[in-house]
Structure 1
Amino acid sequence: MLGRALKSAVVGLGVGRQHALALLKDPRTELCAIVEHDEVRAQDFVQNYKDQNIQISTFNEVVGCDEIDLISLASFDGDHFHQVMAGLKHSKHMFVEKPLCQTRPELEDIYALWKTSSCALASNLVLRKAPLYIWLKDLISSGALGDIYAFDGDYLYGRVHKIMSGWRSETENYSVMEGGGIHIIDLMLMLTGQKPSEVYSLSNKIATRNTDFQYHDFQSSQFMFESGLIGRVTANFGCIHRHHHVIRVFGTKGTFLYDDAGPRIHWTSDEDKTADFVKEAPLPAEKGVLIPDFIGTIINNDIIESAYQEFDLMSVVLAADEVLNCKKPTRIEYLTC
């Protein structure tokens, strides 16, 4: 247990602004510094919270500052690996926007370094805190849906212009599964309480052909589990659709659906019966909602389970990308026991 507030810094004020606001609200932390390449954005933030005495810094200044305990990373995907490694080397607790890294060798390097540290490490997978999925996890765990035999999920990005220009189009080896589909894979692991053993993936680049975006914009991955459960997850960045996600969980006693029509459960196949709608919210209230839990893991020195969750998730996501090159089902290798 620490006897003082954790001193923190935020890198990147896009979605990182939500991280910063969460840190400002939590009495267990003191936001000391921000790192932001857009000088106007940085100055505006500091002026809006000038009573907090927040400093505008560089990443090297923040990571090298002995007083900083926690760094929240909301930088570009291609920067995460090197910044996470630097943070761990300087004994910083690291809260990282997804993805944690981009390749399996990077993940192995992070894992090896993390094991030698006493640092907390977590990613910002915000659907973990959505009231709907907390409720659904409890329902599945109770056995009310019976044996779960299939999970289907679609990440409908609906913002194709963001990958045709801007930092995503400039990021080497940008992955739509790592950049968006990861949320659905994370839900699959969380809701089923199982880890897949094999994965097979296909992809295409039709929606963004003849554009500056170099990589595939649609990916479909199928996951096989030891229990016989089959999961299917798509990352659909080129779709003509509002930003949304779709989840279907099929059990032997009931079927859960979430799509444009709202969350609902079918308890019967009777054509005269309608589904029961669920009132729980499918999104968390804000994108910094996981910050308080992360602070709690640091204060309570409960860092192993949360970090293992991230390493398992990234093992699955990266395997789903790697299998695109071999065109056959591939066994997923986990770093954790």
Structure 2
Amino acid sequence: MTFRAAIIGLGVGEQHARTFAQHPDSEVTWLYDLEMAKAEHLAEELGQGKPAESYEQILAAPDVDIVSIATYDHLHFDEVCRALDHGKHIFVEKPLCRTASEVDEISDRWIKAGKPHIRSNLVLRGAAVYVWLKQAIAAGEFGDIYAFDGDYLYGRLEKITEGWRKDVPDYSVMEGGGVHIIDLMLWLMGETPNSVACTGTNIATRDTGFRYDDFMASTFSFASGAVGRITANFGCVHPHHHVIRVFGTKATFIYDDQGPRLFRDRRDGATAEALDLAPLPDGKGILIPGFIQAIRNGDDPTREAEREFDLIRVLAAADKAHADGAPQNIRPTTYTSSNDKTGQQP
């Protein structure tokens, strides 16, 4: 069976379209962007897809199995809900939505829709070094994980001071960027934190049109006793980058400007083992083949969907802790299957 995909938003969505068009089990049937010329040009280049005049036209079309959403963050909730109401599988840029009430609504509609496949495009899951790290943790090479540190260094200040993000009500840099690091933490550690504290500052952007904190720092507590510390730093004087440190009782993983490496020895003078593995994925479409395969194989979508829902609940709790100036408890999804502690690539 060939799965028919409609792509909504042709910025990052152009990479979605190219991946669906090139995959042997899918084809692009519709393309939609606020700039019609983008859809027309891409349809001609791909030799697939018809430019749509509206999202409504796509949802009403009979030749759509998958809706791939790459619009502005604050539009995702409504677009995901409407796609669910039409029984579509959904591939969506991060974040899936922005609040606890929104994810509850999406969860309810997902169940009513018969549990179609739904996946956010959190591409660090597909980077070779993190696939290896997931497998190594699952194999016990790190012993017990007791801390995860991550920094999302955005470095593209003009995108929040001049672009669309400054006009989004209650824009959160943790949701807009830190989401990648939080998702990686949840995936690697195989558990959801039970509480979070968060603070932030707007020093880097206080004299600009951006009205919210450009730096947020969250501390997460896990039932296992582990601690996670994650920052979303949009105002930094630094090229776009991320930093990850995973501390276990047997080994420590570090990725920063010096590349990914591993310490297995805590003695003075110990040297790190360099890891010749890519810390970034090969493009924004890297998770799409696995998404298509899951649909084709008839895999149970529950575990992946509920992982997406858990991520938003964690993010929403961090945002509330930031807004209220007080720690927040996190309500996890009750999974119908066991937590994913395997080393399988998502």
- The root-mean-square deviation of aligned C-alpha atoms, in Å, is 1.2
Conserved 8 A contact 2:124-2:180: yes
Aligned to 1:99: 95
Shift of residue 336 of structure 1?
Answer: 3.1
Conserved 8 A contact 1:222-1:230: yes
Q: Is 1:157–2:142 an aligned residue pair?
A: no
Count how many residue pairs are aligned between Structure 1 and Structure 2: 333
Shift of residue 76 of structure 1?
Answer: 0.5
Higher mean C-alpha deviation, range 233-242 or range 141-150: 141-150
For residues 53 and 34 of structure 1, do their structure 2 counterparts lie closer, same or farther at Cα, with a shift above 3 Å needed?
closer
Map 1:284-323 to 2 at 5 A: 284-302=281-299, 303-323=301-321
Q: What amino acid is aligned across from residue 306 of structure 1 in structure 2?
A: E
Q: Which runs of 5+ in 2 are unaligned?
A: 336-346
Q: Return the alpha-carbon distance in structure 2 between the equivalents of residues 77 and 55 of structure 1.
A: 22
Aligned to 1:71: 67
Map 1:1-337 to 2 at 5 A: 4-49=1-46, 51-118=47-114, 119-302=116-299, 303-337=301-335
TM-score by length of 2: 0.94
Q: Return the alpha-carbon distance in structure 2 between the equivalents of residues 327 and 213 of structure 1.
A: 21
Q: What amino acid is aligned across from residue 20 of structure 1 in structure 2?
A: A
What secondary structure does 2:7 align onto?
Answer: strand
Conserved 8 A contact 1:7-1:31: yes
Conserved 8 A contact 2:99-2:313: no
Q: Return the alpha-carbon distance in structure 2 between the equivalents of residues 42 and 66 of structure 1.
A: 19
What secondary structure does 1:52 align onto?
Answer: coil
Shift of residue 53 of structure 1?
Answer: 4.8
Shift of residue 46 of structure 1?
Answer: 2.1
What secondary structure does 1:84 align onto?
Answer: helix
Q: Return the alpha-carbon distance in structure 1 between the equivalents of residues 62 and 334 of structure 2.
A: 30
TM-score by length of 1: 0.96
Shift of residue 239 of structure 1?
Answer: 0.4
Shift of residue 272 of structure 1?
Answer: 2.4
Shift of residue 271 of structure 1?
Answer: 2.4
Q: Which runs of 5+ in 1 are unaligned?
A: none
Q: Return the alpha-carbon distance in structure 2 between the equivalents of residues 40 and 241 of structure 1.
A: 35
What secondary structure does 2:204 align onto?
Answer: coil
Conserved 8 A contact 2:99-2:312: no
What secondary structure does 2:67 align onto?
Answer: strand
Shift of residue 72 of structure 1?
Answer: 0.2
